[in-house]
Amino acid sequence: MSDIYSLHGTTVAEIFSSGLDNLDQIEAVAVSVVWKDGQVTAGASNTTNERLAFMLLALEHHIKSGLFSGNQQDQP
């Protein structure tokens, strides 16, 4: 499974700044945004369905690993 690094405590600006600093290394992006009014928007950049599914599985694995290890850091 791919390495997943926690973004807990990271600001939105830090995430986007890091992305801009490393554009040449980014192959695809999937994003979900929760707006202050409660709406959620989500989407993915130019990637295949297979690659997007892999990204989602990697994230699910990270979340489940935290739940079963007792690490609740990434949980609201």
Question: Residue 39's pLDDT is what?
Answer: 96
Tokens for 29?
């992006």
**DSSP code of residue 65:** H
Task: Answer whether 44's CB lies under 8 Å from 28's CB.
Answer: yes
Question: Residue 37's pLDDT is what?
Answer: 97
Residue 3: pLDDT above 60? Answer: yes
Task: Answer whether 2's CB lies under 8 Å from 56's CB.
Answer: no
Rg of the chain over all Cα atoms, to the nearest angstrom: 14
Tokens for 18?
């890091």
Give Cα 45 to chain centroid, integer Å. Answer: 13
pLDDT band at 4 (very low <50, low <70, confident <90, very high): low
The model carries a pTM of 0.60
Tens digit of pLDDT for each residue in 18-51? 889 989 998 888 888 889 999 999 888 888 999 9
